[in-house]
């Protein structure tokens, strides 16, 4: 790979011809030219996305030969960086043994054992193929277990694209939900009740009024899809207490936070244990994966033990299981999370120091190895707060950083993901790039 930033530190001098041509071709065959909306990079003002061609360690290279220090980490999974020798070794062996069987394999048992040992709430776990499958299945289990229909979710928390989760706040009572996407019917989200994230008082009021209807409360224990928003003190504890009091199932969506903010996820970090947990990203070591698990009494309602149906032909794919097991085995080594958090703290400190030299209002939210720099005054504790951010300013920042060879998430409302592969040189380059932006 060439040096970070391509031929120049200025974004206009970074080569883009091949990515532009590939995007033009992709538009003929793929809706919007991308297979997930945020990849289009429209929110940061780019006419076309980067087409990534290769990666190694903490660096990614695009189809034009530009190299970038990466703080996206494939949206979280690449916590070890790319090309970790243990992960590659396990993947090569899995490729030789066979890529898919639709039958049980030893690696899925190995990965399940590692997850159950690490995540406090998980006694049994079922592998699926995506985070959306995991959250959809967890809610089905909760409804089957309780015999109730309603679910509570929080505005700005993203739990995948299943219809029941694509609800937006409507007018009228705080619990009224409206479809947030064409194709989602009012009937589909009629059982979805909405609140602002971190609103403990509103949560208590909702349960006092409708708690005996609530099958599940699903929440990102650290919000990661409105930017990183930590829970206020007492918020997760209140959710736990209310679910216990009213016989509802508490579901933590740890697809992002699982194995990123601690070995046992956010539930370990905050000491609040849900009934069910959904996982993804890191547990696949960079391959497509999802999982849901929890206490035995809930998970034994799932077929073939129980009557709540869930299935998947490629669930437990041996490639994803091998890569995931290899990744978790590395993460389980003593001192790994201390080292990861020390790296993240250094990134956060450099951003705070850079921002202090400028006049732009910014707020940095950080939990472990994930953080977001919001271009607004703080605090940012809810989706309403996050929406105050100046997205045009973030687009300027993204453009500047990309020109300096730093690849950030192409949206104000996503997270920087720190990986263990970052070097001293990478940290220095990122700090210098941020300092240059805020000094301008």
Catalytic residues: 158, 253, 281
Any idea what DSSP says for residue 377?
-
Contacts with 48 (C-beta within 8 Å, 6 or more apart), sequence order: 16, 19, 20, 23, 24, 33, 41
Angle, vertex CA 257, rays to CA 78 and CA 419, nearest 5: 30
Cα(418)–Cα(401) distance, integer angstroms: 16
By the 10 Å C-beta count (0-12 exposed, 13-18 middle, 19+ buried), 303 is classed as exposed
> For residues 173 and 241, what is the distance between their CA atoms, to the nearest angstrom?
24
Chain-centroid distance, C-alpha 291? 14
- Token digits of residue 258: 């699982």
Q: How far is CA 177 from CA 174, 187, 221, in A?
A: 8, 10, 22
Q: Are 208 and 242 in contact (CB under 8 A)?
A: no
> Can you list the alpha helix ranges (DSSP code H) found in 194-260?
200-210, 235-246
At 334, list the tokens: 């003593």
334's CB contacts (< 8 A; 6+ apart) are none
Distance in angstroms (rounded) separating the CA atoms of residues 372 and 422 = 18
Pairing of strands 67-70, 249-253: unpaired
Token match 């000491």: residue?
271
SS3 62: strand
DSSP state of 406: E
Closest C-alpha among 5, 131, 150 to residue 69 = 5
Helix pair 85-97, 318-331: axis angle to 10 deg: 160
Cα(327)–Cα(410) distance, integer angstroms: 26
Pair 369, 340: CB distance under 8 Å:
yes
């Amino acid at each position: 790979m060439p040096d970070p930033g391509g031929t120049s530190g200025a974004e206009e001098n970074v080569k883009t011809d091949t990515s532009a041509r590939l995007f033009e071709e992709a538009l003929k065959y793929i809706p919007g030219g991308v297979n997930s909306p945020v990849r289009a990079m429209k929110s940061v003002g780019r006419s076309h996305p980067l087409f990534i061609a290769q990666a190694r360690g903490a660096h990614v290279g695009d189809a034009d030969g530009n190299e970038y220090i990466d703080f996206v980490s494939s949206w979280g999974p690449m916590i070890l960086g790319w090309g970790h020798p243990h992960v590659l070794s396990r993947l090569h062996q899995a490729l030789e043994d066979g890529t898919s069987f639709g039958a049980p394999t030893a690696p899925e048992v190995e990965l399940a054992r590692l997850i159950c040992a690490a995540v406090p709430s998980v006694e049994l776990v079922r592998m699926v193929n995506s985070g959306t499958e995991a959250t959809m299945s967890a809610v089905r289990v909760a409804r089957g277990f309780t015999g109730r229909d309603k679910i509570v979710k929080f505005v700005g928390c993203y739990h995948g694209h299943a219809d029941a989760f694509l609800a937006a706040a409507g007018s009228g009572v705080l619990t009224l939900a409206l479809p947030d996407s064409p194709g989602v019917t009012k009937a589909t989200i009629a059982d979805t009740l909405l609140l602002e994230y971190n609103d403990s008082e509103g949560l208590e009021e909702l349960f006092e009024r409708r708690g005996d209807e609530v099958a599940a409360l699903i929440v990102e224990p650290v919000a990661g899809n409105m930017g990183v928003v930590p829970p206020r003190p007492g918020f997760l504890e209140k959710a736990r207490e209310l679910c216990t009091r009213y016989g509802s199932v508490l579901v933590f969506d740890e697809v992002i936070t699982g194995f990123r903010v601690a070995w046992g996820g956010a539930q370990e970090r905050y000491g609040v244990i849900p009934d069910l947990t959904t996982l993804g990203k890191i547990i696949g070591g960079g391959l497509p994966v999802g999982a849901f698990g929890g206490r035995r009494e809930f998970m034994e309602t799932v077929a073939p033990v129980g009557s709540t149906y869930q299935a998947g032909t490629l669930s437990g794919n041996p490639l994803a299981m091998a890569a995931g097991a290899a990744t978790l085995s590395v993460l389980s080594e003593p001192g790994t999370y201390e080292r990861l958090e020390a790296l993240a703290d250094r990134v956060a400190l450099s951003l705070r120091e850079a921002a202090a030299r400028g006049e732009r209002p910014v707020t940095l939210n950080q939990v472990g190895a994930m953080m977001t720099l919001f271009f607004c005054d703080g605090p940012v504790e809810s989706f309403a707060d996050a929406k105050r951010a100046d997205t045009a300013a973030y687009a300027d920042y993204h453009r500047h950083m990309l020109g300096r060879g730093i690849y950030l998430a192409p949206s104000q409302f996503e997270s920087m993901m720190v990986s263990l592969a970052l070097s001293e040189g990478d940290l220095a380059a990122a700090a210098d790039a941020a300092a240059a932006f805020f000094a301008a």
